[in-house]
Amino acid sequence: MKALCDGNDLAEAVGKAIKAVSSRTTNPVLENIKVDATPGTLTFTATDNELTIETSIVADVGVEGSILVPGKLFNDFTRKLTGERIELEFASGKLTLRYGDSASEFSCASIDDYPDLPSVVEAQSFTTTKKDLKDLISKVVFSVCQDDARPILKGVLLEIEDETVTAVALDGYRLAKCVKPIKATTALMQAIVPARSLNEISRMLDDSTEEIKVLIQRNRLQVDLGHTTVTTILLNGEFVPYRNIIRTVFETVVTLPCEQFSDSLERAMLLSRDDKSNPVRFDISERMLRISSNSGMGNLDEKLSVVTVGPDLTIAFNAKYFTELLRVCGSDSITVKFNSPADPCVVEPAGGSEDFLYLILPVRIGQ
């Protein structure tokens, strides 16, 4: 193999592919990035057997071929060569990089040991915009379960209908649900996508209204981002019947400003950071929300002006669950709906500006 390419393009491509390289794999060959040289193109591929990323750049290819280079080392090294024109040449089991008057060598693994890459053929698909897909992911993915004991909840449920795609994530303490319009779909379908894979897809999306097609077949999902393709396995199993969890009738409804609410909760968390449950108490009355937190590090007692409909209520939550949703909700104010100190609350953007909601379970603290 022999090729010439731009250093910036090389570093960017390797930086994308490395996201699919696992540092904890039991198969050492998966710590490598596969480099394929074909006429006019260098393609970089990495996989951990769950997530596969393939990305291509323009190159002057003199000799075609395929090699395996050590992923982390190659990524760290190419990031330092972004201003150079780089020649890559493979011979006798080593890849030589030439740049300016200098050269470096990398020992390569045997290409024969690399696994066959997954393909998505005869798949169903839906089409949306990059902006909507990015927003859909960001509004729910932080709510997935981190516990290996419930692997199905480490994924996000996608439900594709005639005109919408619904994303749902939950971890047993909170639930996030967001609905976005789609341009077209070939079928009504569902898929449970690993959160890590969705995070990597989201990082590669911009906020444009350019259309993007998402392919889904029985056990895989694939997104084509032009010069980059991301393929992920789907999780098998039954997702929680989330519709049974979300109540539609509430006794107390509070509308409050997001920025002031978030600032108050952040201060409360600073004083309770030694307690992982981050308990914060809400005392709700007609025109006021009193936020209080008590810990060995100090106490907080703040009041926010709010609009309340319904009876007064005292309830407590893990503040982290509110601060995380407030970072992504994109609304100036929210509506929080309650029933009792033991029932979960539902949070929605005020004014019904967008179809998304969060459900959060309360915590029990002393009165």
Give tens-digit pLDDT for 10-58: 999 999 999 999 877 788 999 999 999 999 999 999 999 999 999 999 9
**Where residue 265 falls among pLDDT bands split at 50, 70, 90?**
very high
Residue 274 is predicted with a pLDDT of 66
**Residue 118's pLDDT band (cuts 50, 70, 90):** confident
pLDDT at 275 over 70: no
Token pair for 27: 């198969």
Cα distances from 352 to residues 142, 255, 339, 359, in angstroms, run 22, 12, 20, 16
Which secondary-structure segment (H or E) carries 197?
helix 195-203
Please check the confidence at residue 136 and state whether its pLDDT lies above 60: yes
Mean pLDDT (whole number) for 276-301:
88
pLDDT confidence band for 175 (50 / 70 / 90): very high
pLDDT in tens, 68-116: 999 999 999 999 988 889 999 999 999 999 999 999 999 999 999 899 8
Mean of per-residue pLDDT scores for the chain: 93
Which helix (H) or strand (E) element contains residue 155? strand 155-160
Q: Report the largest interatomic distance among the alpha carbons of the chain, rounded to a whole angstrom.
A: 78
- 124-244: what fold? DNA Polymerase III; Chain A, domain 2 (3.10.150)
Residue 218: per-residue pLDDT: 86
To the question of domain 252-360 being in CATH 3.10.150.10, the answer is yes
Mean pLDDT on 229-258: 95
CA 348 to chain centre: 21
Q: From 347, 264, 328, select the one nearest 301 (Cα to Cα).
A: 264
Query: What is the band of 366 on the pLDDT scale with cuts at 50, 70, 90?
Result: low
The span from the CA of 68 to the CA of 302, in Å, is 58
- Range 139-156 average pLDDT: 94
Q: Which CATH class is domain 2-113?
A: alpha beta
Q: Is 29 strand, coil or helix?
A: helix
pLDDT of 277: 67
The mean pLDDT value for 298-323 works out to 94
Q: Give the model's confidence band at 214: pLDDT under 50 very low, under 70 low, under 90 confident, else very high.
A: very high
| Full-model pTM | 0.93
Parts of the chain belonging to CATH 3.10.150.10: 2-113, 124-244, 252-360
Beta bridge partners of 95: 90, 106
